[in-house]
Structure 1
Amino acid sequence: MRKIFSLSLVAAVLATVVAAQAPATAGPAEDAFFTPPDPLPAGAPGDVVRVRASEAGAITSTVRAWQVMYHSTGALGQRNVVTGMILIPRSVDPATAPIVSFASGTYGPAFRCAPSEMERIGASYEQPAINDMLRAGYAVVMTDYEGYHPDPKTTYITGRSEGHAVIDIVRAAQRMPETGLSRDAEVVFRGYSQGGGASLWAAQLQPGYAPELNLVGAVGGGVPADLVQVSLQLDGKLGFGFLAYSLIGLDNAYPELDLENYLNETGRTEFARMQREACTLELLLDYRGKRLSEYTTSSPVLTPPWLARVQENKLGGTAVRVPVHQYHGTRDDVVDFAQHKALRDTYCKAGVTVDWKTYDTDHITGVYLGNAGAAAFIADRFAGRPATSNC
C-alpha cells in the first residue's frame, strides 16, 4: 500500500511538471521583465526594481499577485537583482497578515523553469503547500533565486545567494505600496529540498543580514545540508540530474571553479543543453542513472577549489535563533537522510529549538507528506504558542 501511495504521488508530480513543459514555446523567453538592468540601479537589498500585476494559475481569482524584481546579494557579496512572486489572499487585511517566504524546491536551470513563471501559469508542483498557506490567511512570497533571465545563470544550491534571495523578497514585499503589508509582520521561512536548504540558510543569515525582520520560525524539509554527502547518493542514480545541476549552480556562483575545463565534448554539449532546456522533468528522466564520468575528463568535485566552495555551503556553522521545524524521509532516494539528521544534531548541540520529524518515505513523496506538520508548526509560531524541542 505504501508503495502504491508513493508511486501515485510520483505520478502526480510528473503530471504537474509535464504541464509545466507544455507552454515552453509560450514561456518568458522574450519577456524583458526578467532581464536585469545594465548597469544595475542604486538600491539596498530588498529595494524594488520593477513590479507588475500577475495571474496565479487556478487561484488567480482568490489572490492579489505580483511578479517583482528586487535587489539582493550574491554568494560573493556582490549586488544583484532577483525576481519572484508575491501572493496575498483577497480575504485578508494585508496590514495584519503574517508572511511566509516560501523557498521553492528544484525547478531546473532553464529560464522557463523560474518558480514565479510556474506559479503564474499554474504549474507549480508545490501548489498544495502554497494553497494551504493562503487559506490560512498568510501572505506568501516566493523568490526565483538568482539567475533566472533569458541567458540563465542560476546559482543552484549555493547557500548564501539563495538565503539572501529568500530574505530580500520579504523586504521587497513589505516595501511595495501595492501590497499593504506591514514591516512589523511576523515572518517564517519555509522550504523543501533545495528550498529547505535555502530556508535554513536564510534563517542562519537573517540576524546579521536583515535584523529588522520579525522572524519567528523556519521550516526545512528534505534539506541538502552537506553537499559532499548528498552527492555520493546521486552519481549513477535517480538524482544524477540534480548532481549535474549542482555543479552548474556552483560554477555560476564561483567563476574560479571553471567547470568547463573538466568537461569532455559530451559534457559541454549536455550541460549547455541542460541550462537552456531542462526543468524538473528533464532532470529526473533525461539524466536518470547517468554518471559524472560520462561527461568529464576528470572529476572536479575532489579538487581543492571545489572542496573549499562546497565546504562554504555546508549548513550548521551558525546557530538559528528562532524555532526550527526539520523533517526528512528515512528512505529518501535523492537527498541523503543521514546528513540532514547530522544537521539536526548540530543545531541541537548549539541550543537551537528544533522540532524534528521523520517519515517512512522517499524524497518525492516527502514533498507532500510533510505539509501538515509544517503547517501546524507555522500556525503555532504565528499564534504565539511556546515552541518545544525534541532534541
Structure 2
Amino acid sequence: MGQVVDSRPITVSTVPTSAQLTSWQVKYVSQDTKGRPWTTMATIIKPAAAWSGPPKLLAFLPWIDVLDTACNPSYQLRTDYAYLASTGMIGEMVNLGAALDRGWTVVVPDYLGPENQFAAGYVEGRSTLDGIRAALNFAPAALPADTRTAIFGYSGGSRGAEFAAELAPGYAPELNLVGTAAGGLVADMGASAALMNGGLFAGINYQASFGLARAYPELNLPSYFLDPHFERELATMCQAQVLATYPFTYVQDRTVDRVWPLGDPNVVAVLDTLKAGRYGTPNSPVYLWMAGEDQIAITPNTRALVSDYCTRGVPVTYVEYPGTEHVSAETAGSGAALDWIADRLNGIPASTTCH
C-alpha cells in the first residue's frame, strides 16, 4: 500500500504562506473500508526552504464530510479563493499555511477514497497512512523513509487522524509516526448523528448515511429514504452548501414511515465497530482537544476515550476549551496543537495529562 502509480506537478496558490512552494498531485494505492485495493489522490506540498535539521512531514487532513469528489482536497487546492469560500474549506487554509511556514513538507490525502465513503472509519485511517507512505515513496519530495511524521486534523479530519493513529501499529508499523493531533473528534458517529438531528448541522447526517451506504452496501441504507434521487442531489454539494440547505431538518422527515436509519440493529452493529478506540492502540503520542459545548462531536465521549487511552498506557494530552462550540474550538485550539506537533517533530518527548 502507498505505491505511487501516477503524478503531476500542480500549482497551489490559495494557501496563506510566504513560503515558496513546489507541489505535486499523486495517485496512490490504498484500501477501501472492506480492505479491497483501490487508488486515491493526495497533494504533496514542499516549501523551498526548510527549517534546520532533518526533513519533517505532516499529514494534514481538512474536513471533507461529503459525497462529492469535487470537495476533496486534491481538487479544492487547485482552485481559487472564491471556490474555497463557497465550499467552506477556506477556513482550513490558515492551519495549512502555518505548517508550511514552519518548513514542513505536507501531504494532504483524499482520505475518504475515490468513492467518498464518509463516516466509514477504516477508509479514513488507512487512506491517511497510505498517503504518508505515498509521500515517502515519491522521489521528488526527497523524504527519507525514516522521516519524522505527524498527523493533524479537526472535525471530519480528526477522524482520519485519530483512526490512523490507532491503525498505525498494525497497518503501517514502518512509519516513524511521532504524534497525532486531533480536535473536535466525532468518536461515535451514531451518537453524534442523534445529537445533530434537527439542529444546525443536520445536513451532515444525510451525507453520513449515504457515505456508510457506499462502504457497506449490504445495509441497504438508501432504501430507507423516500426520494430515490436524494443521494444524487447530495453528491453535488460541499459542506457549506449542505449545511445551508438542510439546517434544522430531521432525517425522519425524509424516510419511509419516519424510520431512523441509523437505529437499525444492523447499522448500529456496524457503527459500533467504527467508534474511536476500536481500531487499535496508538503507539505514539496523541493530542486531543475539544470544545466545552460541541454541537457535532460529543465532548464526554472524547473524555471517555482519553480515560481509556490512559488505561492502555498511551501518552495522551487532552485540552478542553470552555465557552467554545465546534467551530470556534478549531480556532481556539489549532495553534497549540501545531506547537505540540512541532515539539514532537523536533524530538522533544511528549508529556501526558493522564494524571
2:33 corresponds, among 72, 75, 89, to 75
Amino acid in structure 1 at the alignment position of 2:41: T
2:203, 2:246 within 8 Å by CA — same for their partners in 1?
Answer: yes
Alignment partner, residue 378 of structure 1: 341
For residues 304-343 of structure 1, the aligned pairs below 5 Å read 304-317=265-278, 318-343=280-305
Alignment partner, residue 344 of structure 1: 306
1:101, 1:166 within 8 Å by CA — same for their partners in 2?
Answer: yes
Alignment partner, residue 11 of structure 2: 55
1:291 corresponds, among 238, 250, 254, to 250
Structure 2 CA distance for aligned equivalents of residues 203 and 322 of structure 1: 8
Name the SS for the 1:67 alignment partner.
Answer: strand
Alignment partner, residue 13 of structure 1: none
Amino acid in structure 2 at the alignment position of 1:227: M
Amino acid in structure 2 at the alignment position of 1:344: V
2:116, 2:211 within 8 Å by CA — same for their partners in 1?
Answer: yes
Alignment partner, residue 64 of structure 1: 22
2:291, 2:326 within 8 Å by CA — same for their partners in 1?
Answer: yes
Amino acid in structure 2 at the alignment position of 1:69: K
Structure 1 CA distance for aligned equivalents of residues 116 and 139 of structure 2: 29
Amino acid in structure 1 at the alignment position of 2:157: G
Structure 2 CA distance for aligned equivalents of residues 117 and 260 of structure 1: 27
How much has 1:226 moved relative to structure 2? 1.1
Amino acid in structure 2 at the alignment position of 1:283: V
Alignment partner, residue 241 of structure 2: 282
Name the SS for the 1:58 alignment partner.
Answer: coil
Amino acid in structure 2 at the alignment position of 1:215: L
Name the SS for the 2:234 alignment partner.
Answer: helix
The superposition leaves residues 75-125 of structure 1 with CA deviations (integer Å, 9 ceiling, x where unpaired) of: 111111111211111112899321111122135322221112222224242
2:210, 2:222 within 8 Å by CA — same for their partners in 1?
Answer: no
1:207 corresponds, among 162, 166, 169, to 169
Structure 2 CA distance for aligned equivalents of residues 273 and 71 of structure 1: 29
Name the SS for the 1:51 alignment partner.
Answer: strand
Alignment partner, residue 212 of structure 2: 250
Alignment partner, residue 99 of structure 2: 133
1:198 corresponds, among 160, 181, 184, to 160
Structure 1 CA distance for aligned equivalents of residues 138 and 270 of structure 2: 35
TM-score computed with the length of structure 2 as normaliser: 0.92
Aligned residues between the structures: 340
1:240, 1:289 within 8 Å by CA — same for their partners in 2?
Answer: yes
For residues 45-194 of structure 1, the aligned pairs below 5 Å read 45-59=1-15, 62-92=20-50, 96-106=54-64, 108-122=66-80, 123=84, 124=89, 125-148=91-114, 153-194=115-156
Alignment partner, residue 22 of structure 1: none
1:94, 1:180 within 8 Å by CA — same for their partners in 2?
Answer: no
1:184, 1:213 within 8 Å by CA — same for their partners in 2?
Answer: yes
Structure 2 gap segments, 5+ residues each: none
How much has 1:304 moved relative to structure 2? 2.1
Structure 2 CA distance for aligned equivalents of residues 387 and 93 of structure 1: 21
Q: 1:234 to 1:284 in 2, by over 3 A?
A: same
Amino acid in structure 2 at the alignment position of 1:228: G
Structure 2 CA distance for aligned equivalents of residues 291 and 81 of structure 1: 35
Q: 1:331 to 1:247 in 2, by over 3 A?
A: same
Structure 2 CA distance for aligned equivalents of residues 116 and 358 of structure 1: 32
